[in-house]
Amino acid sequence: MKFQKVDSADEITKYKNSHKVTVLKMSAPWCGPCKALEKQLKGMYSDYSDDDVIVLECNIDDNEELANDYNVSSIPHVVFFYDGKLQDLGVKGAHLDKIKKMINDGLGVE
């Protein structure tokens, strides 16, 4: 699993179309739960292949338009794509178990 900062819809499209599962994490640098989730996700780094799963990190303070595009009303807000197709408009909050389930579902792993 690899991590990439994104600042545009074009960047999101590029990455989501080249990975089996794309996790788009909408957050802000001042958000405590966002920092905690980032640490937890990075702790899962070796659980998934770089070719299969990518975590895109978007700072909503710098990207309000993207936040609006994905209906972000609270952060952290996590959106999932499977093979480039939007699956879920979001897990709101730092719910690692739900995030792992969505990743595993996208990979066809139980």
Please give the Cα distance from 48 to 23 (Å, whole number). 12
Summary mean pLDDT of the chain: 90
> What pLDDT is stored for residue 89 in this prediction?
65
The residue among 95 and 85 whose pLDDT is bigger is 85
CA distance 55 to 80: 9
**Is the model more confident about 54 or about 93?**
54
Catalytic position from the list 1, 24, 31, 79: 31
More confident residue, 40 or 45: 40
Active site includes 31? yes
Q: Are 17 and 75 in contact (CB under 8 A)?
A: no
Give dist(CA 90, CA 87) in Å, integer. 9
What domains lie within the chain, and their CATH numbers? 2-107 (3.40.30.10)
Query: Which of the residues 1, 26, 34, 79 is marked catalytic?
Result: 34
Active site residue 58: no
